[in-house]
Amino acid sequence: MRPFLKFGFALLILAVVAGGCDLIRWKNEEKVKSPGPRPIARVNDQYLYEDELAGIVAQKSTPEDSTARVTAYVNSWIRKQLIIQEAAKRMDIDEAEVERKVLDYRYSLIGYAYQNFYIRQHLNDTISDQEIVDYYHQHTDNFTLKQNIVRGTYIKIPKTAPRTNKVKDMLFSRKDKDLEELRSYCLSFSTAYHLSDSSWMEFDKLVVNSPIAEIPNKIQFLKTNPYYETNDAEFIYFLKVDDYKISDNVSPLEFVKEDIRNILLNKRKVELARALEDEVYENAVKQKNFEIFDR
């Protein structure tokens, strides 16, 4: 953009944001004299008017942010108008098809926004454990593991950490005080750790950035190594596997529980959206709000 146009845009936008200055006239274009919205920009015979900028700038925006946002919008509008007008010159445009797509897009903006509003007001997002169990057993084939998963403990500590020779003893201890000491030790010295609990984890994600991740046959490794300890130049790695499941087997319910909860919630949302459309349509039929004419 030429310097004088940049300067013109800045003044123009300040007028829109602050409501102070008169609009800058475009080169070779007379100022519109008829009453009504003031023009902001022009591309050939198409104008962008001041009232079309409503909502572009947030109420709490700084003058700098407001100017930048309006500038970006005006430049975007100009580019789009240039493409539209170039397309009209170079090709035949099916206006009816364009209007159908505009209607679809309008529906996607307004209709979907209302559906989401309706869903937020009517959705029961409480999913019982029994519903999850029932869905799991009814759709077991949908929950085949795509990766190896484990339950266990993984600890990565620098070689310079103190008492590294005690980590294995704490790891295998069944005493509560030793487990608490291990947790405190990991918080203080480990670079990465996951202590044994009831949760399942993807094996590759658990041992990422360790020599264990480079082992080629993970399935054989899991079958033969309930405990594994290794090191590299900087770190020592401890892995204790309490349980594992191999890829291509059925996933444990615990591993997919949240996925099933989301599936059931989405099903409810779809049902609510469909119910909304049916309700609006049926009410319109009763009130004779629409009719279809013979063709």
Q: What is the pLDDT of residues 137-182, one digit of tens each?
A: 999 999 999 999 999 999 999 999 999 999 999 999 999 999 999 9
Mean pLDDT of 184-193: 96
What is the per-residue pLDDT across 27-85, written as a single tens digit (0 to 9) for each? Answer: 334 444 556 788 999 999 999 998 888 888 887 888 888 889 999 999 999 999 999 99
Residue 22 has pLDDT above 80, yes or no: no
Average pLDDT across the chain, whole number? 88
Over pLDDT 70: what percentage of the chain?
88
Q: What is the pLDDT of residue 132?
A: 97
Question: What pLDDT, on a 0 to 100 scale, did the predictor assign at position 165?
Answer: 93
Between 271 and 12, the higher pLDDT residue: 271
**Of 181, 189, 193, 185, nearest to 158 (Cα)?**
189
Percentage, residues of the chain above pLDDT 90: 73
pLDDT tops 60 at residue 19? no
Question: What pLDDT is attached to residue 3?
Answer: 43
